[in-house]
Each structure stands twice: as C-alpha cells, then as structure tokens.
C-alpha cells in the first residue's frame, strides 16, 4: 500500500502541475499575443482535426506544430513535457493490449501471443491522437489566463451554467488534489514497518473512505466560505480587450494550413 500511495501521490502532483501552468501566460510570446477568441477557436479546431483522423502523418505534423508554438511562445520545453507527458504514457498503457487482441497479420510472437499489424497501428494511432489533443490543450493552458479563458467562453455565448461548472471543477480540483497529497504524505511518514498484503488492502480501503469523507467536508466548507463572501451562483469574469493583430492573423493562416493538410489526407 505504501508503494501504491506513493504512486498516487506522484500522479496527483503531476495532475496539479498540469493545471497550474498560468505563469507562462504573463510572458511575451507568440500565442500570448494572439486574440483570445481566435486562439480558443483555433485550438478547438485543431483538437477536432486530431480526433477525426487516423492518419499518422497528420498527427505527427500536428505534434510538430504544437512544438513550434511552444518554442515561439517562450514556454520551457522541460516543463512542457513534464506537465503533459504522463497522459500519453497512460493512453499507451491503455491501448497496449490491443496489439494482441485485434485480428490480422502477425508481426511477431511474444510469450505465446501474436502481435498483429492492425493492433500495432491502432495502438500507435490512439497514442498519437491523445498526445496531439493533450498538446493542443496544453498550449491553451500555458498561454492563457484562466480569467481570460472564462471571459472568452462567455463572449462566445457558451451557456452560463456550463462555464460556472467549469470554474467550480477547476477550483475544487486543486483543493481535492492538495487534500489527497497531504493525506498520502502524512500516512507515508507514519508507516515505518512492512505490512502484509491483507493489511495493505485494509488500509487502502480506510484511506479511500477517509479521502471521500474529507472531500465532502472540504467542499461544504468551501461553499460556505464562498456564500459568506457574497457568492450568488455566478462567477465574475473581468474582460480584457485583445485586438486582432499580426500574430492573430498568422495564427489563423497556420490553422488554415493545417485544415488544408487534413483535407488532403482525407482524399
């Protein structure tokens, strides 16, 4: 259970770091100077293109496009790969069994199981698709303030309850992940002896139950604090005006080029 707790603690820290990437939005860079509406619509369009294609060449090209945007936006490559790299690895682990399950021409055998060519292609395509989508979302999170994102969503006439729900999820995720990290860190400091497997499972159930109980309690306390500070069911978003300048036009041209390449791959 100690090993499992340590793994969950690391995963929760990575997920929290993936969400906390707003410091790069205050730097001077390419995407930071793009109009918020143009950037949001363009990145959403790129995600749709990645989801709707199975062409490996286009997915690799989309990854190169994301990498170029990272470099032009003055985002640290080390932080960029550290903050989103665990999600594609998780997707690869999920898709890995399909290399044995999908029927087709065997490529080679491994422990008595046939690795098929369609299975390898499916696992590769699935992993690349997830990586491309996450890389595009990372560009938005790294180069956009949360307040700007909320105002842009409302300016695009996204339903208010949906935007408010997004804000609540975003805020509560930090509280829940911090609570989980503190629980696991405290338990790791108190466990000094090696436990049997039965004891590990028993303690694991207690940790899960305690975490759920703390989550409900923390959520209620946060809501009461919000109500005490004047929360009326809606979140305020302070608008910032971003004109459509040269960077916005260049970004639109680049996204348009990606759409053109996607259309060519579909022919």
Is 98 in contact with 166 (CB distance < 8 Å)? no
Q: Which two tokens stand for residue 255?
A: 């996204």
User: Nearest-CA neighbor of 7 among 117, 123, 86, 111?
Assistant: 86
Does the residue 102 lie in any domain? yes
Using DSSP, state whether 116 is helix, strand or coil.
Answer: strand
Same domain, 106 and 216: no
Bridge partners, residue 108, by sequence: 115
Same domain, 153 and 55: yes
d(CA 236, CA 169): 16
CB 198: neighbour CB atoms within 10 A? 8
Alpha carbon 43 to chain centroid distance? 14
Within the chain, strands assigned E span 106-110, 113-116
pLDDT at position 137: 87
**Per-residue pLDDT tens over the stretch 217-263:** 777 777 787 778 777 766 666 666 667 889 999 999 999 999 999 99
Measuring CA to CA, how many Å separate 211 from each of 5, 41, 183, 231? 12, 38, 8, 26
Same domain, 216 and 247: no
Secondary element (H or E) of residue 236: none
- Asked whether residue 76 carries a pLDDT value surpassing 70, the answer given is yes
Number of domains making up the chain: 2
Same domain, 198 and 181: yes
Model confidence band, residue 1 (pLDDT cutoffs 50, 70, 90)? very low
pLDDT at position 10: 61
Q: What are phi and psi of 146, to 5 degrees?
A: -60, -40
Same domain, 152 and 164: no
d(CA 154, CA 157): 5
pLDDT at position 175: 73
Same domain, 135 and 206: no
**What average pLDDT is seen over the chain?**
79
CB 201: neighbour CB atoms within 10 A? 13
Give the residue numbers spanning the domain of 131: 21-157+243-266
Q: Mean pLDDT throughout 118-147?
A: 87
Same domain, 125 and 103: yes
**Can you give the pTM of this predicted structure?**
0.75
- Asked whether residue 178 carries a pLDDT value surpassing 50, the answer given is yes
């Amino acid at each position: 259970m100690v090993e499992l707790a340590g793994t969950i603690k690391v995963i929760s820290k990575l997920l929290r770091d993936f969400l906390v990437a707003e410091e790069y939005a205050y730097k001077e860079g390419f995407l930071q100077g793009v109009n918020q509406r143009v950037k949001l619509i363009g990145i959403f369009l790129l995600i749709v293109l990645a989801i709707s294609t199975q062409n490996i060449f286009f997915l690799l090209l989309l990854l190169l496009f994301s990498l170029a945007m990272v470099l032009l936006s003055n985002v640290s490559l080390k932080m960029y790969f550290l903050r989103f790299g665990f999600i594609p690895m998780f997707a690869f682990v999920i898709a890995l069994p399909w290399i044995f399950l999908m029927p087709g021409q065997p490529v080679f055998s491994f422990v008595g199981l046939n690795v098929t060519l369609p299975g390898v292609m499916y696992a590769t395509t699935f992993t690349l698709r997830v990586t491309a989508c996450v890389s595009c979302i990372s560009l938005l999170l790294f180069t956009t303030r949360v307040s700007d994102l909320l105002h842009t969503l409302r300016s695009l006439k996204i339903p208010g309850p949906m935007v408010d729900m997004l804000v609540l999820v975003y805020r509560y995720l930090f509280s829940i992940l911090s609570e989980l990290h503190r629980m696991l860190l405290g338990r790791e400091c108190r466990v000094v002896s090696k436990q049997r497997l039965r004891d590990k499972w028993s303690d694991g159930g207690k940790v899960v139950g305690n975490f759920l109980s703390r989550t409900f309690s923390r959520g209620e306390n946060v809501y009461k604090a919000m109500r005490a500070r004047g929360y009326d069911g809606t979140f305020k978003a302070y608008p910032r005006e971003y004109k459509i300048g040269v960077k916005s036009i260049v970004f639109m041209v680049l996204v348009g080029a990606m759409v053109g390449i996607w259309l060519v791959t579909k022919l």
